[in-house]
Amino acid sequence: MSSVVNGLSGWTGAVFALLAFAFAFGRRSPALGVLGAALSAPFCLCAKGYPIVGALAWAALVSNFIAACIVGLRRDIAVAALTPFGVICAFLAVLAIRGIRLAR
């Protein structure tokens, strides 16, 4: 795996993806939404390895691309489609802050 993908599979990828989605919502740009969805893919694929969030990570990845496609048409539905990704980010952030590890 390349060093770029390794770097994006951690919190860096999630932060860049959320920033790209924020700009996509501000400009109503599907291109920036697709960039955000592509940047979130390594993070979601890394998160699918955790036992609790495995299936939700796949749903987050698919819903990120759905949100990217409809951000220019219906922002309210696009925000709802980003909910699984936000839930995974918040859940893993709380676990990281508390020092809880899901892997051995």
What pLDDT, on the 0 to 100 scale, is given for residue 13? 86
pLDDT digits (tens, 9 = 90+) for 52-101: 888 899 999 999 999 999 999 999 999 999 999 999 999 988 988 888 87
Residue 22 in domain: yes
Residue 103 in domain: no
Question: Over the chain, what HEC string results?
Answer: CCHHHHHHCCHHHHHHHHHHHHHHHHHCCHHHHHHHHHHHHHHHHHHCCCCCCHHHHHHHHHHHHHHHHHCCCCHHHHHHHCHHHHHHHHHHHHHHHHCCCCCC
Residue 104 in domain: no
Can you give the residue range of the structural domain that contains 23?
3-98
Residue 83 in domain: yes
Residue 61 in domain: yes
Average pLDDT rounded to a whole number, residues 22-32: 93
Residue 69 in domain: yes
Residue 7 has pLDDT above 80, yes or no: no
Counted domains in the chain: 1
